[in-house]
Amino acid sequence: MKFRRKFSRDVKLAAVQQLEAGSSAAEVARAFEINPNVLH
């Protein structure tokens, strides 16, 4: 069974800031080791 990872508010905020700064969802997903479908 896989366990869901929990991300802190700071990590989520950093990912959103990178998206808003112009990074692609694929780049941000790779940097944070998450599925790009999570970023929407």
pLDDT in tens, 11-37: 999 999 999 999 999 999 999 999 999
Query: CA end-to-end span of the chain, whole Å?
Result: 26
Q: Would you list the domain boundaries of the chain? A: 9-38
Residues 3-15, mean pLDDT to the nearest whole number? 91
pLDDT at 2: 78
- Enumerate residues 6+ apart whose C-beta is below 8 A from 25: 19, 36, 39, 40
Q: Which element (helix H / strand E) includes 36?
A: none
